[in-house]
Amino acid sequence: MSQSRKLLNDCFLHDKDRLRHDDVLTLIQKRIGTIVASETVPLAAANGRILAEPVVAPRNVPLSDNAAVDGYAFRHADFDDVGGWFEVADRIAAGHARTTPMPNQTAARIFTGAAMPSGVDTIAMQEDCEPHIQHDRPYVAIPPGLKPGANCRKSGEDVLEGTTVLVPGERLRPQDMAAIASLGIAQVVVFEKLKVALISTGDELLRPALGTLPQPGQVFDSNSFMLKGLLATVPVDVTDFGVLADDAELIRDTLSKAAADFDIILTSGGASRGDEDHVIAALDELGQRHLWQLAIKPGRPMTMGQIGDCIFVGLPGNPVAAFVCFLLYVRQIILRLQGSAWRLPVRFAVSANFGIDKKKPDRREFLRGILGQTETGALGVKKFDRDGSGLITGLREADGLIEIAETATSLQPGEMVNFIPFSEFGLTPR
């Protein structure tokens, strides 16, 4: 079992005025390493976890040569190209291997998944065969045209003994679970779940509850529900600290306590430098702030910092900005902290069903993209047409993010644009 490692105390420090999107990702990739220890878990509990030790095949899969169909197994050398007659000398079902060789010139009735006995190497499908009884003994007529080894699965054709099937850093998916189980491996070593403290801040915020009616000026705390859902796409344990009022002392005390017990603190709201924004001041007092001025939109300053060995991420309060910053950066940070291999979301080139007259150069824009068809029936994407970063509706209608490069200053309808489906960030499609 490995010990957890400490964070570099300047891991988010950088020397750029305005970080470009790619710089941010490079910083995350280069400066953030695994901080959690590893643990052994039963395979049944490993789906979605990040592997900490390789999985090496202790045996072949399949273990034995076996039947791919229901039929008759025979020795190809006993067969001539015009077909053949065989006495049916055994019946072999899956899970009931025959341990002695089949006599020459005989066939075995065999069923899918049954181990091939020695002495036979080829199977004719039952639909193509004519069984019959002669002198009280079963025979089968096998048609011509079968190649040696037909309808047999070879031992090791899926995985050969000694193969490294999975390497540390891989996130276990259902198909990986199948692969590990097929090897007969009952437990795996994975990285521990990251402990996340989730905090909403704002005097105006109210948690939805039965019978709760908002007073004028109150806003329901939607971010914490959204962020909890987003955090469910990575293997973490989340503790919900609820809503904190805009109160300097309360925020400082809460951050200080959380930093002692958690690997990462994720706040939303209060992260600007207004009079009522106390989160930054608290961070400055307790630890280090490496404020990130990002050359992206949306993504007003997202704040990164550390309080001792705890990472601090301050997300903007506006739901759209919080959502996009989480997908683009927080998710990568969290995966990195718990040993995940580096993987960028895949971008698909899709035809733009919209245009942009004028875009500020030198910043990358991420628009909420809705998939549809172009006039010619190809895949197209349009942007959600209202801009407000408080509009949760746009997040709901979108299928992913449209990425407009720093260098672009306009976009013509029909041009190809980069589109990143939300599924690339681990979200389930609607």
Decide: is 316 part of the binding site for ligand AMP (CB under 6 A): yes
Q: Which of 267, 318, 351, 353 binds ligand AMP (CB under 6 A)?
A: 318
Interface pick for ligand AMP out of 60, 66, 106, 200 (rule CB under 6 A): 200
Residue nearest to Mg ion (CB): 202
Structure tokens at 54: 């390789």
Q: Can residue 303 be called a binding residue for ligand AMP (CB under 6 A)?
A: no
Shortest Å, Cβ 229 to ligand AMP: 13
Binds Mg ion by CB under 5 A, chosen from 84, 117, 119, 269: 269
* Structure tokens given for 265: 């603190």
* Whether 2 contacts 52, CB under 8 Å: yes
DSSP string, 53-72: S-EE-SS-BSSS-EESSSEE
Stretch that binds ligand AMP, among 280-288, 302-310, 313-321, 354-362 (CB under 6 A): 313-321
Residue 319 found at the interface with ligand AMP (CB under 6 A): yes
Structure tokens at 295: 């050359």
Q: Which two tokens stand for residue 418?
A: 């980069």
Query: Is 371 in contact with 423 (CB distance < 8 Å)?
Result: no
Q: Which residues pair with 380 in a beta bridge?
A: 351, 372
How far, in Å, CA of 196 to CA of 239, rounded?
A: 6
Decide if residue 317 touches ligand AMP (CB under 6 A).
yes
The contacts of residue 174 (CB under 8 Å, 6+ apart) are 47
Long-range contacts of 107-112 (CB under 8 A, 24+ apart): 107/72, 107/73, 107/74, 107/140, 107/142, 108/72, 108/73, 108/74, 109/72, 109/140, 110/67, 110/70, 110/71, 110/72, 110/73, 111/67, 111/70, 112/67, 112/68, 112/69, 112/70
Relative to beta strand 416-421, strand 400-404 is antiparallel
CB of 335 to Mg ion, least distance (A): 28
Smaller CB distance to ligand AMP: residue 319 or 339?
Answer: 319
**Does residue 319 bind Mg ion (CB under 5 A)?**
no
Per CB under 5 A, 270 contacts Mg ion = yes
Our finding on whether 202 is near Mg ion (CB under 5 A) is: yes
Q: Should residue 71 be labelled a site residue for Mg ion when binding is judged by CB under 5 A?
A: no
Binds 205: which of Mg ion, ligand AMP, none (CB < 5-8 Å by kind) = ligand AMP
Query: Does 115 engage in binding with ligand AMP (CB under 6 A)?
Result: no
Indicate whether 316 belongs to the interface with Mg ion (CB under 5 A).
no
* Residue 314 contact, options Mg ion, ligand AMP, none, Cβ 5-8 Å cut-off depending on partner type: none
Closest approach of ligand AMP to the CB of residue 243, in Å: 7
Q: Based on the shown chain and the rule CB under 6 A, indicate whether residue 269 belongs to the binding site for ligand AMP.
A: yes
- The number of residues that bind ligand AMP (CB under 6 A) is 18
Minimum separation from the CB atom of position 401 to ligand AMP (A): 20
Phi and psi at 134, nearest 5°, equal -135, 130
Candidates 130-138, 195-203, 333-341, 380-388: pick the segment binding Mg ion (CB under 5 A).
Answer: 195-203
Cβ atoms of 35 and 74 closer than 8 Å: no
List contacts with Mg ion (CB under 5 A): 202, 269-270
List contacts with ligand AMP (CB under 6 A): 200, 202, 204-205, 219, 221-224, 268-272, 316-319
